[in-house]
Structure 1
Amino acid sequence: MQNKSIYTRFAKWASNFCGQPKVFIAAVVLILVWIITGPMFHYSNTWQLVINTFTTIITFLMVFVIQNSQNRDTQAIQLKLDELICATKGAANALLDVEDLDDQKLKEMNAKYQTMGTSARGGSDQQDTREDDPKN
Structure 2
Amino acid sequence: MRWRFRQISDLAVLWAGHRAVPVTLVALVALWAAAGLSFSFPRQWFLLTNMMGTLIIFFILLLVQHSQNRDMVALQTKLDELIRSSKAGNHWIAAEKKEAEAIEEMRQQHHDQMPETMN
TM-score class, shorter: 0.7 to 0.9
Secondary structure at the aligned position of 2:40 is classed as: coil
After alignment, is 26-35 or 3-12 more displaced? 3-12
Secondary structure at the aligned position of 2:37 is classed as: coil
Secondary structure at the aligned position of 1:38 is classed as: helix
Residue from 57, 70, 73 that aligns with 2:71: 73
Question: Are residue 108 (structure 1) and residue 105 (structure 2) matched?
Answer: yes
CA distance in 2, matches of 1:44, 1:79: 53
TM-score (norm 2): 0.83
Give the CA deviation at 1:114.
Answer: 5.0
Give the CA deviation at 1:44.
Answer: 2.6
Question: Are residue 56 (structure 1) and residue 83 (structure 2) matched?
Answer: no
Secondary structure at the aligned position of 1:74 is classed as: helix
Where do 4+ consecutive residues of structure 1 move more than 4 Å?
113-122
Give the CA deviation at 1:113.
Answer: 4.2
Instruction: Report the equivalent of 1:83.
Output: 81
More helix by share: 2
Report if the CA contact (8 A) 1:18-1:24 is conserved: no
TM-score (norm 1): 0.74
Letter in 2 for 1:111: Q
CA distance in 2, matches of 1:52, 1:101: 41
Unpaired stretches in structure 2, ≥5 consecutive residues: none
Letter in 2 for 1:56: T
Give the CA deviation at 1:94.
Answer: 0.8
CA distance in 1, matches of 2:18, 2:61: 17
Instruction: Report the equivalent of 1:47.
Output: 45
Unpaired stretches in structure 1, ≥5 consecutive residues: 123-136
Give the CA deviation at 1:121.
Answer: 4.3
What whole-Å deviation, never above 9, does each CA across 1:77-112 have from its counterpart, x for those lacking one?
A: 111111211121x21211111011012212322333
What whole-Å deviation, never above 9, does each CA across 1:22-63 have from its counterpart, x for those lacking one?
A: 122211211122223332122332222222111111112112
